[in-house]
Structure 1
Amino acid sequence: MNFLPHTCQIHLNQLGYSPDLAKVFTSDAAGRFEVVNSVSGETVYSGSTSPLHPDHSSGMPVARGDFSAVRSPGSYIIRLTDAGVQSPVFPIDGRPYQAIKNALLKSFYYQRCGVELESAYAGPWSHKACHLSDAYVHGKPEERYSQTGGWHDAGDYGKYTVAAAKAVADVMLAYEWFPSALREPVGIPDPEIRMPDVLAEVRFELLFLLKMQRKDGAVYHKVTTAEFPALDCMPESDTADLIFSPISHTSTAAFAAVMAMAARIYRDMDASMAENYGRAAKSAWKWLTENHSGAGFKNPSDIKTGEYGDDCRLDEEYWAAAELYRWTREPQYLAAAQELAGSEAFSLCELGWADTGGYGTLCLLSMEAGDLPAPLRSQLLNAWAAEADSCVGRSAADGFGVALLPDEYIWGSNMLVMNRAMLLITASRLTGRTPFASAALDQWHYLLGRNTLGYCYVTGFGAKPVMNPHHRPSAGDGIPEPVPGMVAGGPNSSIQDEAAASLLRGQPPAACFIDHKDSYSTNEMTIYWNSPAVFVAAFADLS
């Protein structure tokens, strides 16, 4: 029988599997399959898929094939013998996710602002230093301050406090939970103080965030130009005036949370800076306690860059109180966290840039049981486990094993997938329930190819990688390959850009993705879509 070259009819993790992992592929065809060693041509396993079942998100019938019995290291393909199609080549290896884990982390280096990216570290994606001028405070052009450093937020060159807070929190949590997976170098310049690359890279962003705080403790919401530059504009060519947008409660509270977190995590290797982080966190909290009123952030009328608006600040304040309590053990912060946890004003389990309650909950649950009142710990653990149960149910019901309902393919759906994987991983450790860990890995397999369109949603990896992200350096540098290690936003059924609207109208939710540089609503990258993927990759690397 003649087998067709790789199509999207067999969907699996294109980076492969470690020997002990469950190994499941999905297909829009059912029947007999065989696993073949791609080097020797030997058939090492034969089986049958499940019958086809309708999958509402993808709009196609889907069958599953289980080849978990194949454990020997090697290079393989899967053939559907009745349909005459085959998968891409994939490995079974002891550490199949080591390289992508390191690339996901190094992607933050490629987002660095204010410094030259040298070819010794950046390879062909090097560029000159950018955005070196001071920024002025909106409405006060005579008041200017340094804003150099930090990470560009996404495919644009803005720097946004609430987005940065999620990103640094995820990466610090990854190091805290899986230090052995994140101690190896990834190829960034040596910091002034010797520490693992992961913490050196986060430190680069933390030092910038300190510049976002006013003397009274409040924190500017963002620093950007008034409008986005052209898509092919390299960072050093973006020379328009930089502007500190007004302060916000959400940016101040998120800042307080990550600074308290950093004070705890860095105190043994960067003590002087850890003290600075701690002082900044307490100053921000003091401002919050003295300034209760204020609407959610809205862009000034003359600022057209990303808004990151959020009308609820209580979840950020809960997170800040939790982190300040874990760092200081001062009862005032516990009292604030406990009161906010009981308010029912926000979700206790979300890990987004706007919905941050999950970070506060995870912070408190990571403490020793005796450090929390028993009723509070029980409330939080029950909420976390219940949300994990819901994720397991969504994952089991989906044809591709992803914990998304049809209406959850939103802008940045891949962030939602990785956030839920984070929740499942932590729930597994907190409860000892292994089904949570298995479902977390299903989300990882989805990101790396076991999805409706058969994409590996990380640039530079897989048999069918994203090649044309909405990312200004990748669009403007003249290099055919995009900057590696970036997570694309993923399917978005709201179809919120012209490129997507022209090609995706009428497609099922899970197919609403286009690998096009103009599709910012499906194919942009952001630091806070990469950051939960770093956490999940660290877990997968040890699985």
Structure 2
Amino acid sequence: MHMEEQGSLAVNQLGYRSTDAKIAMITGEGGRFRLVDHASGAVVWQGDTIPAVDDQASGIKVSRGDFSVWSQPGTYRIESGEGHSSYPFVISDAVYEEAHQALLKAFYFFRCGMELEEKYAGPWKHAACHLTPALVYGEEPRRIDAWGGWHDAGDYGKYVVPGAKAVADLLLAYECYPQAFEGALPLPESDGVMPDVLHECRYELEWLLRMQDGESGGAYHKLTTLQFPGPDVMPEADTAELYISPISATATGCLAGVMAMAARVYTPHDAAFAASCLKAAEQAWAWLERHPEYPGFRNPAEVFTGEYGDEQDLDERYWAAAELYRTTGEARYHEAFRGFAGQNAFDKYELGWADMGGYGTISYLLSERENEPQLAARLLAGLQQRADELAAVSREDGFGISLRPEQYIWGSNMLVMNHAMLLLIADRLLGSQTYERCALEHVHYLFGANVVGMSYVTGLGSRPILHPHHRPSEGDGVEAPVPGLVSGGPNYGKQDEYAREHLADKAPAASFADVMESYATNEVTIYWNSPAVFVLSHFV
């Protein structure tokens, strides 16, 4: 049942916490709607929808049925006046625990370079992969043994910049919500002492350390084959030659930022590892200082894997300076941060791999160091303004989220979760709960309260995506996809053949296809999962 069908209803398929706002999205003019006990069929409550709006992003008229007053735990469905019914959902105080665990466990499934054994991977087990040392592209034959880390996405490339974003989101989640990570996943490393989120991040951090050039301190941009393997090739069957692409300023800035952050987070758990992270951060910073101007990364001529190109490296330098200052308290990092903060060439509130500015701002504002009150006040005012803008868009949107029609881009669900993350951090820094409800609407959207009527996370909800663009899910012979993966979601750009052919006339928020072929709408990545982990950490 798609939302586009007249009279259909979309809800958060996981359910709602007892005291949260609860809203069903109903196509068309709306009217009377009822809350029905799913087992007995008894109507327990009824009400009238809020007047319908023409929703630009989804291209339909949508009305909202607010049943927030009902808080009694149970399993329910919503029925409209015409007798259409929603998927069943629960009202409970523990709605998000399983989803939070699954979103975090996904990183284990993304691991490269080790066997995923049945004890931890269940039917999605597979042999170790990508263990041969990689050739450094464009140099005299030289190999680097940079095994490990996470596969980036539906392919098996490993990229420093998006990897750093994913780790930063997870470490921020742990710093802000340590209680959300008390339970074991479990992982092979689970020891009941260090939280599993830190074991998982360490697997990636150790790979990032291998991607740093020991002599210069610069970070190589990525490690991939020359071309993507076929769509159903399992990781261990992807045996083409591995190449390490040249050093980039954006990768080096991200390495400095995430290593400085890790040095702080791991100190209570493993002082030696924390010290190695800090040393790496300082060496990367020294590289950045020696290369104040550096050309943006471009794929070498024969390399056709993800580029993650970015002409602008000031945002990564800003983030690195903030984290190094927060971790060490050294004045030189504060000076550098102030210099970058005075530049208008990058956005100081974005949380995407192409713009890491938001991480610098957040680090500075969360820092307990003596910082400069006027600069902090200016950055906080900017954060509040951005949060207000997101909340304003959400109030106008038919599905209650902060994406404007033109923001349904490749990986739009990353923006959905990044925005929710920013709203929650704004509340935290402002000492308010102004934006929490708005952030929660973004969670409802991810799990089914959207025009497509699907949960955009594998294995979660009544109608989750089943065919993500993810090679292991396609090639492993298991019918169900690897669980806990966030799909990229609607993409008005429709950059793949399937989307161009089948979604040509769809509105932005409806431009989605749950098929492997549609990599522009249905791929998965580590850095779409990571902000979702942060956001759910707030609600568990």
Is TM more than 0.5 here? yes
Deviations 1:170-217 (A, max 9, x none): 000011101101121112112589411111000000001000000110
Contact kept, 8 Å, 2:110 with 2:151, in 1: the verdict is yes
Contact kept, 8 Å, 2:24 with 2:78, in 1: the verdict is no
- Structure 2 counterpart of 1:346: 346
- Structure 2 counterpart of 1:468: 467
1:440-479 matched pairs, under 5 angstroms = 440-479=439-478
1:453-532 matched pairs, under 5 angstroms = 453-532=452-531
Contact kept, 8 Å, 2:184 with 2:190, in 1: the verdict is no
Instruction: Compute the displacement of 1:7 (Å).
Output: 9.2
1:431-442 matched pairs, under 5 angstroms = 431-442=430-441
1:156-305 matched pairs, under 5 angstroms = 156-190=155-189, 194-215=193-214, 216-305=216-305
Instruction: Compute the displacement of 1:141 (Å).
Output: 5.4
Give SS of 1:289's match: helix
- Structure 1 counterpart of 2:399: 400
- Structure 2 counterpart of 1:88: 87
Code of the residue aligned with 1:259 in structure 2: it is: M
Which aligned segments of 4 or more residues in structure 1 are displaced greater than 6 angstroms?
none
- Structure 1 counterpart of 2:329: 329
Code of the residue aligned with 2:166 in structure 1: it is: A
Instruction: Compute the displacement of 1:8 (Å).
Output: 8.2
Contact kept, 8 Å, 2:6 with 2:27, in 1: the verdict is no
Contact kept, 8 Å, 2:468 with 2:515, in 1: the verdict is yes
Deviations 1:125-146 (A, max 9, x none): 0000000100010012521111
Code of the residue aligned with 2:288 in structure 1: it is: L
Contact kept, 8 Å, 1:193 with 1:270, in 2: the verdict is no
Note the residue ranges of structure 1 that are not aligned, 5 or more in a row.
Answer: none
State whether structure 2 residue 532 is matched by structure 1 residue 533. yes
1:36-185 matched pairs, under 5 angstroms = 36-81=36-81, 83-140=82-139, 142-185=141-184
State whether structure 2 residue 410 is matched by structure 1 residue 389. no
Code of the residue aligned with 2:257 in structure 1: it is: A
Alpha-carbon distance in structure 2 between the residues aligned to 1:531 and 1:249: 23
The root-mean-square deviation of aligned C-alpha atoms, in Å, is 1.4
Contact kept, 8 Å, 1:8 with 1:454, in 2: the verdict is no
Deviations 1:65-111 (A, max 9, x none): 10001101100011112x21011110001111100100000000000
Instruction: Compute the displacement of 1:51 (Å).
Output: 2.1
Contact kept, 8 Å, 2:157 with 2:222, in 1: the verdict is yes
Alpha-carbon distance in structure 2 between the residues aligned to 1:37 and 1:96: 17
Of 26-35 and 301-310, deviating more is 26-35
Alpha-carbon distance in structure 2 between the residues aligned to 1:466 and 1:49: 28
Alpha-carbon distance in structure 2 between the residues aligned to 1:80 and 1:232: 42
Deviations 1:209-252 (A, max 9, x none): 00000011000000000000001000000001100000100000
Contact kept, 8 Å, 2:158 with 2:223, in 1: the verdict is yes
Of 521-530 and 134-143, deviating more is 134-143
Alpha-carbon distance in structure 2 between the residues aligned to 1:412 and 1:85: 31
Code of the residue aligned with 1:153 in structure 2: it is: D
Code of the residue aligned with 1:520 in structure 2: it is: Y
Contact kept, 8 Å, 1:8 with 1:453, in 2: the verdict is no
Q: Kindly tell me: are residues 181 and 191 of structure 1, through their superposed partners in 2, closer, same or farther at Cα, counting changes over 3 Å?
A: closer
Give SS of 1:51's match: strand
Deviations 1:387-408 (A, max 9, x none): 0000000100100001000111
Give SS of 1:86's match: coil
- Aligned-pair identity (%): 51
Alpha-carbon distance in structure 2 between the residues aligned to 1:116 and 1:193: 22
Q: Kindly tell me: are residues 7 and 464 of structure 1, through their superposed partners in 2, closer, same or farther at Cα, counting changes over 3 Å?
A: farther
Code of the residue aligned with 2:422 in structure 1: it is: L
Contact kept, 8 Å, 1:455 with 1:465, in 2: the verdict is yes
State whether structure 2 residue 309 is matched by structure 1 residue 306. no
Deviations 1:7-38 (A, max 9, x none): 98111110001101010111113011111111
Deviations 1:415-459 (A, max 9, x none): 001000000001111113323111111111111111111110000
Alpha-carbon distance in structure 2 between the residues aligned to 1:96 and 1:354: 33
Code of the residue aligned with 1:427 in structure 2: it is: A
Contact kept, 8 Å, 1:7 with 1:87, in 2: the verdict is no
- Structure 2 counterpart of 1:362: 362
Contact kept, 8 Å, 2:7 with 2:84, in 1: the verdict is no
Alpha-carbon distance in structure 1 between the residues aligned to 2:356 and 2:152: 18
Alpha-carbon distance in structure 1 between the residues aligned to 2:209 and 2:343: 30
Give SS of 1:434's match: coil
Alpha-carbon distance in structure 1 between the residues aligned to 2:527 and 2:31: 40
Instruction: Compute the displacement of 1:463 (Å).
Output: 1.3
Instruction: Compute the displacement of 1:318 (Å).
Output: 0.2
Q: Kindly tell me: are residues 8 and 261 of structure 1, through their superposed partners in 2, closer, same or farther at Cα, counting changes over 3 Å?
A: farther
Deviations 1:34-56 (A, max 9, x none): 11111232222110102221001
Deviations 1:472-514 (A, max 9, x none): 0001011110000000000000100011111000211000000
Code of the residue aligned with 2:127 in structure 1: it is: K
Alpha-carbon distance in structure 1 between the residues aligned to 2:6 and 2:229: 37
Of 52-61 and 302-311, deviating more is 52-61
Give SS of 1:435's match: coil
Give SS of 1:45's match: strand
Instruction: Compute the displacement of 1:354 (Å).
Output: 1.0
Give SS of 2:428's match: helix
Alpha-carbon distance in structure 2 between the residues aligned to 1:183 and 1:219: 33
Alpha-carbon distance in structure 2 between the residues aligned to 1:89 and 1:180: 29
Contact kept, 8 Å, 1:183 with 1:198, in 2: the verdict is no
Code of the residue aligned with 2:180 in structure 1: it is: A
Give SS of 2:247's match: coil
TM-score w.r.t. structure 1 length? Answer: 0.97
TM-score w.r.t. structure 2 length? Answer: 0.97
1:13-52 matched pairs, under 5 angstroms = 13-29=12-28, 30-52=30-52
Alpha-carbon distance in structure 1 between the residues aligned to 2:292 and 2:181: 39
Of 407-416 and 425-434, deviating more is 425-434
Give SS of 1:95's match: coil
The number of equivalent residue pairs is 535
Deviations 1:355-403 (A, max 9, x none): 00000000011023x6211111101100100000000001001000010
Alpha-carbon distance in structure 2 between the residues aligned to 1:270 and 1:227: 38
Give SS of 1:483's match: coil
Alpha-carbon distance in structure 2 between the residues aligned to 1:191 and 1:75: 34
